[in-house]
A and B are shown apart, each in its own frame.
Chain A
Amino acid sequence: MTSKLLEIKDLSVEYKTEEATVYAVNGLDISLDYGQALGLVGETGAGKTTSALSIMKLLPAGVGRVTSGSIFLDGVDVLGSSKKKIGEMRGNTVSMVFQDPMTSLNPVMTVGDQILEVLKIHKNLSKSELSKAVDDMMEMVGIPSYRKKEYPHQFSGGMKQRIVIAIALVCEPKLILADEPTTALDVTIQAQMLALIADLKKRLNTAMILITHDLGVVAQVCEKVAVMYAGEIVESGTAENIFSGRYRHPYTAGLFGAIPKLDEETRRLETIDGLMPDPTEKVEGCRFAMRCKYAEDDCINTAQTMVEAEPGHFIRCAKVG
């Protein structure tokens, strides 16, 4: 039995449709301690959400498939577990906050019932205890508990996301997967929501994987950072490692270049030229090579391995170290 909360090794996931096979995740390794927060950063289509869904075994049935690797969560072999065992873990050991609060709530069920539902499945409590737990949770995410009889359409986007967070946290899971929890919200609400997540994480001592394409968000909440590109992790380390900028993967450097700096006068933000490689094709060498200004022909033809640039800071690039 591992002492880690989450141990993902060599995970590969593909989506098979009638037209093509998409290689969404390719040999992913992630490990996370209890109570730790990891920021999973990357652009749309990098495989972040797919990785999170695999942890919950929620890949779209019949389309998404894990082709290799293993996932151990709290000592349980997720991929080898029965449907029943997974059902017991979902919402209880691990829960997920989805991207769009507008659509993640059932429109014909009161919000109170939607929070209550998770508790009822996993916790053996009396009626009054259940009701109290729902009230407490609502207050904790900043919604007055008298509103539990209301339906999702009576709440604003930010309020809905609070309810989604309440659903995710009410059973006090050991791990929360937050999939771009602030993207669909107004900028002013985003900050509130991040503060709320950070606060709740600390109070409940929950571990978290925060999926985002926003490095600023990561800096606020996470101790560890992993940068994903085209289905694999290209750089990982502590937040300090990544933000210090002593060593950087060219892609991460590109991401930082795309952040506006207030202290410098910049005409244009730097962009990364080109697009991600076609995910329906298997790539042999470095996936970023086509867009990398340092790339040489050799980068395209040989697979890159993670290089430890400084203690605990790994970078998948031939040019580092």
Chain B
Amino acid sequence: MKLVIDETRCKGCNLCTKVCPYKIFREGRKLNRKGIAVPELDRPERCTNCRLRNLYGRQLCGVCQLTCPDQAITWIDEEPYEPHKVAIEY
């Protein structure tokens, strides 16, 4: 699974930057067409739901999606053979 932020819905309130236990969301710097700084993703492959959703077959964590007041955060399936980054945490 892949974490995506829908730029047409995000209003830039940055609530996701505070609730994510992995601190995946960072405050955005660049304004988009609507003048909103959409949060950036910092190594999203660390997200529990991205890694283990298909293995467990259920929603894991998902606090950012529930908290997002604008319904902008979703997970989508990856394309077949999409290059993966592997995050190793010590």
The yes or no verdict on A and B being binding partners is no
Where the two chains meet, the residues of A that have a C-beta atom closer than 8 Å to any C-beta of B are none
Where the two chains meet, the residues of B that have a C-beta atom closer than 8 Å to any C-beta of A are none
